[in-house]
Chains A and B, each alone.
Chain A
């Protein structure tokens, strides 16, 4: 039976998990140490997803960028599309952690949210941090 070895990335432990499969169907999974690991490898086999973490522009904050993330994993093949959509976004401070930036990124039905809060600052203060 064909086998495929995965390094589980569900947590930083990085367990080595072996999948035996036949006709694109999983027959046996071994080597995982938790339910998350089993779930990850199944998903990795059928529908690999990744959480995207990047930044978008923000005005009137102490930094010119604010970090954002997809709420859950998006299909690996959609990462480039998500990055392109996020390039066009510009927020304005104040922002709260968890604010929705894009509701349905690239038709994945998954939201992109801010991953920190940033207060609104006077323009003078903004310049000071950047210089």
Chain B
């Protein structure tokens, strides 16, 4: 029984998360005439874009390089003119498989029933605990994104001499940012033998400032009692195990971790959605619908993307799916499994109907030159001069190519060398 003191409301579509994915899904829903609510825990829409003040956003969609806040504002300004009901400072307390949820709003609890739900909850950064760095536990060890928020939104510099573990994009960009703010970046370590962030960021953020990049290295100890005093940097072997005797101490007062993002998948779990072991996000079809009908994901809550443009496009697609589902309670069922083949770490979506055009995104396991991204048993193939695990590959299967999928029960995507 619902407590009669608690307010309740009904919506066609509830979008959880007001970052780029959620804004796109919500906007598309409203454009198609659905009653949409966007639930956002922060004090404003925009999500992580608001702290990503560097440029490079929007090349695919707008053909120009915007900063994160500029990109966000293109959507927030449209949303404020739309019919979308935006709930800021609002938390989801519980999410249920029947697409109802309890919200904690600044005005108290609110029960919401939705025809369709889009979980656009983004991702969280992996923490020190998740990568188990030994050593003491002083202050001055934090995820790179936290430092980015402190610097760019709060105007607070969290350290003067910095070491960055992980060559993901956030780690590279924060290295340049720290340099510009007068801090000294002593180096960046990457456990793999190639940088995991985008090439352009290695060039623009490290090379430009002569910041050393230590490939096949990791942090093996942390020193300091109250405040961080230094880290030990060691070389790793082919199995990524530290090699004894290679350790060198580096004096720093800030260690930033840029060691990957994990989809924020808690609400998918609460709603009973099946997750992918490879992405930690939900298994989705070409409309980003999960295996709980009417519950959708999009953006980093599904898999970690490297361009916000793709996040936006996925959000639009999920919005279209949610509108279709909310309208008639049905979407074409997606029966064909999409599975990773040779040199493919993961591919999204994991299911397709084979009836509609779809875009698929994949990450490779190993870097490869002159690569063919192809669907096994068909002539569908896309050539790439170079593929690396740090760069997501996105391609579209459309029109006549769909006919080639008709005979297949399973769609195996593989990346092989052309020559």
Contact = CB atoms under 8 A, between A and B. Distances in A.
Interface in A102-122: 115-117
Interface string B190-206: 00000000111011100
A52 B180 CA distance: 9
Nearest to B73: A97
Given A97-B73, A116-B69, A54 B200 contact: no
Interface in B49-74: 50, 53-56, 59, 65-67, 69-70, 72-73
A123 B286 CA distance: 48
25 contacts: A8-B200, A9-B199, A12-B56, A14-B198, A14-B200, A15-B385, A50-B204, A51-B55, A51-B65, A53-B53, A54-B53, A54-B181, A55-B151, A55-B152, A55-B155, A57-B155, A67-B53, A67-B69, A69-B67, A97-B69, A97-B73, A115-B70, A116-B70, A116-B73, A130-B154
Interface range for A: 20 to 34
B70 A97 contact: yes
Contacts of A62: 43-44
- Cβ-closest 4 pairs across A and B: A14-B199, A116-B69, A67-B53, A9-B200
Interface of B: 43-44, 50, 53-56, 59, 65-67, 69-70, 72-73, 151-155, 177, 180-181, 198-200, 202-204, 208, 306-307, 385-386, 391
B200 A12 contact: yes
Contacts of B155: 55, 57, 63-65
A11 B67 CA distance: 13
A23 B66 CA distance: 36
Contact of A7 (B43, B67, B69, B200): B200
A3 interface: no
A73 B391 CA distance: 25
A7 B202 CA distance: 9
Interface string A56-78: 01000011110101000000100
> Interface of chain B, helix or strand or loop or mixed?
mixed
Interface in A1-51: 7-9, 11-16, 33, 50-51
B180 A54 contact: yes
Contacts of A129: 43
In the complex, which of the residues A62, A64, A65 has the most CB atoms of chain B within 10 Å of its own CB atom? A65
Given A67-B69, A69-B70, 9 more contacts: A9-B203, A9-B204, A11-B56, A51-B55, A53-B67, A54-B181, A69-B53, A116-B69, A117-B73
Contacts, number: 86
B53 to A, nearest CB: 4
Interface of A: 7-9, 11-16, 33, 50-55, 57, 62-65, 67, 69, 76, 79, 83, 97, 115-117, 129-130
A65 B55 contact: no
A65 B150 CA distance: 10
Given A7-B200, A51-B65, A83 B70 contact: no
A14 B56 CA distance: 12
Contacts of A8: 200
Contact of A53 (B55, B73, B200): B55
B53 A55 contact: yes
In the complex, which of the residues B66, B67, B69, B385 has the most CB atoms of chain A within 10 Å of its own CB atom? B69
A7 B201 CA distance: 10
